[in-house]
A and B are shown apart, each in its own frame.
Chain A
Amino acid sequence: MKKVLMGNHAVSYGARLARVEVIAAYPITPQTQIVEELSELCANGELDAKFIKVESEHSAMASCMGSSAAGARAFTATSSQGLALMHELLHFASGSRLPIVLANVNRAMGPGWNIWTEQTDSLAQRDTGWLQFYCENNQEVLDTVIQSFKIAEQLALPVMMVLDAFILSHTYEIVDVPERELIDKFLPPYMPEFKMDVDDPHAFGALVTPDNYYEIRYKMQKSMEKAPQIVTQTGVEYGEIVGRSYDVLETYFCDDAELVLVAAGTLVSNSRAVVQEYRSKGIKLGLLKIRMFRPFPTEQVRKILLHIPKIAVIDRNISFGASGIFFQELKAALYGRDGVSEARIFGFIIGLGGRDVRLQDIAEIVDYALEEEKPKEDIIWMGLKR
């Protein structure tokens, strides 16, 4: 049924459809309505889940871990500093192989204190062993929450799904909320092979000596490597049942493109509009949407971009001392065993701390990349007041 929903409520509706059993979260702007709605659903009985009130994000994740270890489908949501406070337990959750789903509303890290959107908070958690999905609109937000559980539970790895602060979190748009029966068909109850059970006690998360730790890490990487195939398959299944398919990434007019924009989150949506405009003028512009950032879909990206002459990566984030993070990842992906891309790769930084990104800003990026043979700087700061 189609509704007009804010992004945060799309998250809540998704969690509800996924029949989460435990929610433990601490409120933080701009994530608040996610938790607000879920606690209300728990309170009025529409959602048969345990809502655990906690005193911090660290405790929220700890509660999710305990619940998940005991076999419950666990969910939390946070943002920015809250996610950073969880950092230790993000490692712990993935190391414990717990399929927790976390919704992160992308917000800039402070100080300077800032509640607006930026990708650095989630990207800074890229090495914690969590899968990461970035959403383009509220429909994708709802659909991704549901798929995240299925993906996480198949891989025994936690999933972080990400939406932009305000641009999605507080913006109302049309969302088709699937019927409950369809989701029940898509997502079976969580039945873990291993869980904490007093009637069959095992030691979990205990000391692992150097003799075995190395292999444990190897196995985790192997699971991560399986993720692209599982994500693709899950996206197809979702499409078969619900009618909307998803994949690790999405191409938009890439086949004959002379320049391909690479973006994630709502930057994709704006870029789409710009691509339409340029294509209408006959300019061969394409767009690659990175939906799954972790594991980075290297193989798929290479397949698409290896023969594209120019690539412009748009980062709403910065890894200080390096560059935009998607930029780094993309460059790494294009230098591989089966060859090296000859493309000129432009790295653009834009919209940090919620600075508005307008269509003409994206158009400026396109014009720069079309005009210049190669980037004039390693990092191109768009809209910087100089």
Chain B
Amino acid sequence: MIEIRIHGRGGQGAVIASKLLAMAFFKEGKFVQSFPTFGVERRGAPVAAFVRIDDKQILVRSQIYEPDHIIVLDPTLIDAVDVTQGLKPGGWILINSTQKPEEFGNLKKFKVSVVDASDIAARHRLGSKSHPIVNTAILGAFAKITGLVKIDSVLAAVGEEVPVHPEENMKASKEAYESVVV
């Protein structure tokens, strides 16, 4: 079983990202489960969403305490919350950032990867310039760095599930897939 935690801020689309990622794995015949942090969500406040993937039916229904991989939609969260909490050794931390992986000094123990998803999203006019919607872009990068899911599955999930500008979202995913820095 693979467990993934996605960090974002309320309104950034972390929950949708978790659903899209689950969809992508579902398209490859996996059993999936995705859920938000249980409770109330406020715009701008730190939130998390989760994905479980397995080859057999997923029975466990507890929270995810020791994720295999982490996705961070907003680099400012690195200082606000402990995004690495429970991360299994060898797991990836994928960050939406303009910085280089080595610049995240306090994450040295982990495999860090970055993609400028904000820039990609803004160029594809997803959301607004000040608040780009980065969730679809970063999933493309996730497919690349982990190799767990095919980019075509991600693109298919994005194309089917995103109600507004699906084409542009798919392009953003693809671009992130190609430009992610490992």
Q: Which A residues fall within an 8 A CB radius of B?
A: 2, 4, 29, 115-116, 165-167, 170-174, 266, 269-270, 272-273, 276, 354, 356-359
Contacts and interface: CB of A to CB of B under 8 A. Distances in A.
Interface stretch (B33-41, B119-127, B174-182): B33-41
Contacts of B31: 173-174
Interface in B32-81: 32-36, 38-40, 58-63, 65
Given A4-B19, A172-B32, A269 B61 contact: yes
Contacts of A29: 40
B33 A170 contact: no
Contact of A172 (B19, B39, B40, B65): B19
B22 A172 contact: yes
A161 B60 CA distance: 22
Given A4-B22, A115-B40, A171 B60 contact: no
B42 to A, nearest CB: 14
Interface of B: 18-19, 22-23, 26, 31-36, 38-40, 58-63, 65
Contacts of A266: 61
Contact of A359 (B39, B40, B60): B60
Given A4-B22, A174-B31, 12 more contacts: A4-B19, A4-B23, A116-B38, A167-B35, A167-B61, A170-B36, A171-B35, A172-B22, A172-B35, A266-B61, A269-B60, A359-B62
Contacts of A357: 61-62
Nearest to A139: B57
A356 B65 CA distance: 11
Contacts of B35: 166-167, 170-172
Contacts of B63: 356, 358
A356 B37 CA distance: 12
Contacts of B65: 358
Contacts of A359: 60, 62
Nearest to B27: A4
- What is the interface of chain A mostly: helix, strand, loop, or mixed? mixed
Contact of A273 (B18, B36, B40, B60): B60
Contact of A174 (B18, B19, B32, B38): B32
A266 B63 CA distance: 13
A272 B62 contact: no
A270 B60 contact: yes
Contacts of A270: 59-62
A370 B34 CA distance: 34
- Among all A-B residue pairs, the 8 with the closest Cβ atoms: A273-B59, A166-B38, A171-B35, A358-B62, A172-B34, A266-B61, A173-B33, A269-B59
20 contacts: A4-B26, A4-B32, A115-B39, A116-B38, A165-B38, A171-B33, A171-B35, A172-B18, A172-B32, A173-B58, A174-B32, A266-B61, A269-B61, A272-B59, A273-B59, A276-B59, A356-B62, A357-B61, A358-B62, A359-B60
A314 to B, nearest CB: 13
A113 to B, nearest CB: 11
A266 B35 CA distance: 14
